[in-house]
Chain A
Amino acid sequence: MNRQPGREGDVLTVSQLNAIVKALLDNEPLLSHVMVRGELSNFKYHTQSGHLYMTLKDEKSAVRAVMFASSAKKLLFRPENGMKVIVEGRVAVFERDGQYQLYLTGMQPDGLGALHLAYEQLKAKLAAEGLFAPERKKPLPKTPFHIGVVTASTGAAVRDIIHVLGRRFPAAQVLLYPVLVQGPDAPPMIVEAINWFNERHAADVLIVGRGGGSIEDLWAFNDESVARAIAASAIPVISAVGHETDFTIADFVADLRAPTPSAAAELAVPDSLTLRQRLSNVNVRMADLLLRKTSAGRARLETLSAHWALRQPEKLLDEKRLVLDGLSQRVLQAQQTRLERGRQSLSLTAGKLSALSPLGVLERGYSIVLRRDSPVRRADELAVGDELTLRFAKGEVQARVTKTKEQQ
């Protein structure tokens, strides 16, 4: 560069000016690493690049800022407009626009810790998705014979879990998937472990957790991917993060939250002794019921055999015979009556018949006079000398008219 900047009479190009300013700022040690407090506005997340663009402002002024994807990835919380933050980075000139701006390498919420904020944000987000809903919780198997454990292979947590499971329910097989439980590699390992058990249906219930520690130590259990893996698990999950007072996100999504690893083991399995006691109680109850049933049967049998009909069956027969006798008596009676009635009506009819019959008239002492086989009804039909037949009730005679009398 031939021309010295600032010398009177020199004319600079825009690019030259910006280059000079850039060089000035770049060489200023105060600006190579600054921390600035301000409020976020015009926040923009560029989805393709992953870069974050924003304006940082206070009551009087504003400055542009950018955070590249490499740094943005490390953010524990989601920056939002209006959020008070403390940012970290360097100041440099964006030569194209002639603007100076902040190139951020870090960002902290101002006031609340970043972890705390991240926790609250993730909690709100997953809650809004319904991942903590009670109706999502799967019931735990009552008697799990296969228990998957996802935790560190060493330390108190795994020892406690195995110890409690062995004491309460030794029949259960325990399968440990060892994972890192803190640090940036922990969440993907925990996710992998949960998925491994699910892909193979390798357990009836999963215990996922670690011993107690600071909020940073427990961070893997506030990780979104871990929370989602627990929520997606078809195998019921008991969270077992040793931090009795605070809940991790894993605790919220788990089907059951245990305050410590040993408590998780207690909750996972029934007590064998209690179970055996229950089985033995069932046996006793069944035997008792059966006994009661047989004695009830016996009692009924006894009541029945005590009945007079069974003790003196002939009495029952007598009884029946009496009934039978009564019945046949009635049948006979009925027949008799009917016969009698028939007889009466018969003689009545016969009486009527005989009253009409000429024979009946003759029977009463009358006789019929016939002349040439015709009945004679008037005396003047006859003349002296006529041959007559007189018919009686019994027999007939021949007679002759000897004398006639004049009718008056």
Chain B
Amino acid sequence: MNENTQDMKEQGQQTEQPMEFEKALARLEEIVRKLEANDTPLEQSLKLFEEGVALTARCNALLEKAEQQVSMLVRGQDGTMTPAPMPK
């Protein structure tokens, strides 16, 4: 699974990150709405809160990147394009 993901990235394949991030944001909005609702029982509110904290942590982790990754596609002998690190 991990190797696959790595392969996909190397071929320039899109991963699930933006979906995951935007889904997380949407879910967070939903959680806040539910917490705002008066009829959400305390027990459920606690669970929503825990889920929300985990989601924000996950989103922060996705944003966490020490250095920007820039690749440039290079045309090979057979004409296929392969990503290589961008020359500075």
Partners in one complex: yes
Say whether B18 contacts A285, CB under 8 Å. no
Say whether B71 contacts A290, CB under 8 Å. no
Using A201-B13, A276-B60 as known contacts, list a sample of 16 further A-B pairs with CB atoms less than 8 Å apart, ordered by residue number in A. A141-B18, A145-B18, A145-B62, A146-B14, A173-B70, A174-B69, A176-B86, A204-B14, A204-B18, A272-B63, A275-B63, A279-B59, A280-B56, A286-B35, A286-B53, A290-B45
Complex CA distance for A178 and B87, rounded to whole angstroms: 12
| A-B pairs with lowest CB-CB distance, top 5 | A202-B12, A289-B35, A166-B68, A145-B17, A170-B68
Given contacts A170-B67, A176-B70, A178-B73, contact A201 B62 (CB under 8 A): no
Say whether B83 contacts A174, CB under 8 Å. no
CB distance from B53 to the nearest CB of A (A): 7
How big is chain B's contact interface, by range?
A: 35 or more
Complex CA distance for A300 and B31, rounded to whole angstroms: 24
Q: Which of B52, B65, B69 contacts A283 (CB 8 A)?
A: B52
Given contacts A171-B64, A174-B71, contact A283 B18 (CB under 8 A): no
Query: Which residues of A34-64 are within 8 A (CB) of B?
Result: none
Q: B1 at the A/B interface (Cβ < 8 Å)?
A: no
Complex CA distance for A201 and B8, rounded to whole angstroms: 10
Q: Look across to chain A and name the residue whose beta carbon is closest to the beta carbon of B29.
A: A282
Q: Which of A146, A176, A297 contacts B73 (CB 8 A)?
A: A176
Q: B36 at the A/B interface (Cβ < 8 Å)?
A: yes
**Within 8 Å CB of A286, what residues of B?**
31-32, 35, 48-49, 52-53
Q: Look across to chain B and name the residue whose beta carbon is closest to the beta carbon of A145.
A: B17
Say whether B15 contacts A175, CB under 8 Å. no
**Within 8 Å CB of B67, what residues of A?**
170
Complex CA distance for A202 and B11, rounded to whole angstroms: 8
Q: Look across to chain A and name the residue whose beta carbon is closest to the beta carbon of B52.
A: A286
**Within 8 Å CB of A165, what residues of B?**
68
What are 19 A-B contacts with C-beta separation under 8 Å? Answer: A142-B22, A142-B25, A146-B14, A170-B67, A171-B64, A175-B73, A177-B81, A202-B12, A202-B13, A272-B63, A276-B63, A279-B56, A282-B28, A285-B35, A286-B48, A287-B49, A289-B35, A290-B45, A290-B49
Given contacts A200-B13, A283-B53, contact A145 B21 (CB under 8 A): yes
Chain B contact surface mostly: helix
Q: How many residues of A contact B (CB 8 A)?
A: 41
Q: A203 at the A/B interface (Cβ < 8 Å)?
A: yes
CB distance from A167 to the nearest CB of B (A): 9
Say whether B56 contacts A282, CB under 8 Å. yes
Query: Which residues of B1-56 are within 8 A (CB) of A?
Result: 9, 11-15, 17-18, 21-22, 25, 28, 31-32, 35-36, 40, 42, 45-46, 48-49, 52-53, 56
Q: A143 at the A/B interface (Cβ < 8 Å)?
A: yes
**Within 8 Å CB of A338, what residues of B?**
none
**Within 8 Å CB of A204, what residues of B?**
14, 18
What mask results when residues 121 to 152 of chain A are scored 1 for a CB within 8 Å of chain B, else 0? 00000000000000000000111111000000
Say whether A162 contacts B32, CB under 8 Å. no
Q: Which of A177, A282, A294 contacts B32 (CB 8 A)?
A: A282
Say whether B65 contacts A171, CB under 8 Å. yes
Complex CA distance for A185 and B48, rounded to whole angstroms: 57
CB distance from A181 to the nearest CB of B (A): 15
CB distance from A272 to the nearest CB of B (A): 6
